[in-house]
Amino acid sequence: MRTINRTTTTNIIATVDRLGGSIPKKAAAEWEKLNVLYDKANNLNPVDNRASAVLAVLEADGDLHSDPAVQRAVTAHEVRDTHGPIAAELDRRVTAFLDTYGSDLLESLRQPFDQAAATITECLDKLGDVALDDSTATLRRGGDAAQIWLDAQVATKAISDIVTTMKLMSPSPLDARYQLLLFADVSPATFIDDQLTGVKLSAWDAARRGYPLSFATPATAKERRDAIIAERQQRAQHAEGAFAREHRRTRGDGGVVVVR
């Protein structure tokens, strides 16, 4: 079972907010409550004064079992010993939070993704097939090339951040060999023919190759992957069948072909 901590979730929500995603009000309120609880738990630092409390009761010939000061001291000691379990429980609550609201948070990134993809397509149309890291060649063009190049950089970074957030939120991350499918809808035949298994591409470079930029939920990404696996299996079966047919053709009905 996955466990996601406060820092990871804070980064996820910050990314959604920064890129213009809409955080559901109920999720925002629940997250605020969790943060307040985290802060309260982190500020727990009760003083362990059991010894002095017990001595004070003994000096007064009091009852250790009913003395409020002793009870408070014992409680403080118990609380100090639960810092680890408290932190673990808070992490479980954060995981439950993402299990509940993760789909909504992810879906809120679809519009920023589509906007960034449209920007990349437009910039690619204006700049042509150039590498974004080749700023010198791009800026030599003059005119508004510098602004277009900057817009392409920002849009490419936005999609990269969205993909990172997708991975953080996914309960079962996609195999690293198929990460391209998180932001590009590559047909199974093209994926295999272009030997894209394990290839790392930015959104800009994927668009340069003609791969359609397309937002993928975890379910969509797995569908794309499964289609590629099915295509690969079908090709393997076809190849085996072709080999068997050729084998039968050259050997006749099973006898040895003798060449004279």
pLDDT digits (tens, 9 = 90+) for 43-71: 666 666 777 767 877 777 778 888 787 77
pLDDT (0 to 100) of residue 118: 98
Query: By percentage, how much of the chain surpasses pLDDT 90?
Result: 51
**Last residue of some domain: 107, 128, 148?**
107
Least-confidence region, from 1-15, 80-94, 160-174: 80-94
pLDDT category at 247 given cuts 50, 70, 90 is low
Number of domains in the chain: 2
pTM of the model: 0.77
Residue 257 covered by a domain: no
pLDDT higher than threshold 80 for residue 239: no
Q: What is the mean pLDDT of residues 204-215?
A: 97
pLDDT (0 to 100) of residue 48: 67
Tens digits of residue pLDDT in 127-139: 888 899 887 777 7
Tens digits of residue pLDDT in 144-195: 888 999 999 999 999 999 999 999 888 788 899 999 999 999 999 999 999 9
Please name the residues in contact with 192: beta carbons below 8 A apart, sequence gap of 6 or more: 228, 231, 232, 235
Q: Do 92 and 136 share a structural domain? A: no
Least-confidence region, from 33-37, 83-87, 98-102, 227-231: 83-87
Q: Do 73 and 147 share a structural domain? A: no
184, amino acid identity: A
Q: Do 222 and 138 share a structural domain? A: yes
Residue 139 covered by a domain: yes
Instruction: Check: CB of residue 159 under 8 Å from CB of residue 117.
Output: yes
Residue 183 covered by a domain: yes
**Last residue of some domain: 50, 81, 107?**
107
The residue with greater pLDDT, 254 or 180, is 180
Long-range contact pairs involving 175-182 (C-beta distance under 8 Å, separation at least 24): 175/225, 178/221, 178/224, 178/225, 178/228, 180/206, 180/211, 181/216, 181/221, 181/224, 181/225, 181/228, 182/216, 182/221
**Last residue of some domain: 73, 107, 141?**
107
The token pair at 94 is 């954060």
pLDDT (0 to 100) of residue 53: 67
For the chain, give the longest Cα–Cα distance: 119
Domain that holds residue 88: 6-107
Q: Do 210 and 119 share a structural domain? A: yes
Q: Do 28 and 155 share a structural domain? A: no
CA-closest candidate to residue 118, choices 165, 161, 154, 67: 154
Tens digits of residue pLDDT in 11-54: 999 999 999 988 889 999 999 999 999 888 776 666 667 777 67
pLDDT (0 to 100) of residue 137: 75
